[in-house]
Structure 1
Amino acid sequence: MVNATPQAKTVEQDGRTVLLQLIAEVAGGNKSAFARLYALTHAKLLGVALRILRDRALAEDILQESYVKVWRHAASYNPAIASPMTWMATIVRHGAIDALRKRQLEAVGSEDEMATVASADPDPVEEMHLARLRPKALAAFAKLPEDKRRLIMLAYLRDLSRQELSARFGVPANTVKTHLRRALLELRATMFASVEARSNGMA
């Protein structure tokens, strides 16, 4: 195994130092620093998204969303936990995985196909403590109106806060909470109606 040369290590350390400084400036609202951070890192981070999505247009969209998150959360970055590139790559990776999962949900049609969509993260089914009824819940999810499916996906698959949803839809956070609760209740009702109908058919 060939060890990195002292010169290579110095270049790597200098690059890390530059990124640390830029993130610190971005945390203070410095747009010029943000532009430079983007210029220095976007090619590598686009590669991260492409490896997961294999769709350049979608990967570029996720990359832009990820930089918005970098801008918003730069102040919470902790260099003791991860290097700048690791931190940003994690944001991109999570966004790409969420986009891939959303595309799978929108693409599948039958109940059996929907049951095969894997998810390691909390979703609306788990939120209602109905994991054991996952296939029925996913089938019911597909029957919801588009606006309600989108709200649930944004809240639970994209992990947007009520405040972020409020800004996106232009309604108060409390209204978002009410709409989300109604969507989940409709999902629950649709799912149990399906279960009850099947039980009656077997009686």
Structure 2
Amino acid sequence: MPEPLFDYEACLLACARGEQQALRQLYEQDCARLLGVAKRIARDTALAEDIVHEAFINIWNGAGGFDPRRGSARGWVYSVTRHLALNVMRKKGREVALSDEHEQTLAAEPSTEHFEYRARSGKVYQCLEHLEPARRSCILHAYVDGLSHSEIAQKLGTPLGTVKAWIKRSLAALRECMA
């Protein structure tokens, strides 16, 4: 018998009502994946664990503000974690040093090949393949590396307005491709 789908929206509504068991269920359901999101941005396990802990506090306190008309409950949970991780990294104002191996890869290949998305399967990766390389790079820098639009513009040597437009159009193209 297949495992029933987890009802994120009902879980958030229960959290908003103060039902601690709902938060526990959400934690058990997605803690490992949320830790992965935080680790990808923070590149530090201990810091990522702190971020996830803080994210669950924010989810608990903010569950009443979730609006299903603005997006999925699962997306909201991941967004809380991702934005918190990005804010922590910006607040720290630090650059994470790359290993020598990664620096050599980036220096040798200025394209998006260093992103490991090709090794994965799934529709989103196929849809990413349809984007022009520069636009794909913008999306990956924003959503995989957690860079701001201005950081992407600086990294690519592209005007900020162009980067913003590329990201906006690329997200629309990805939504259409995924539908």
TM-score by length of 1: 0.44
Structure number with greater CO (CA < 8 Å, separation at least 6) is 2
TM-score by length of 2: 0.49
Q: Answer with 1 or 2: which has the greater Rg.
A: 1
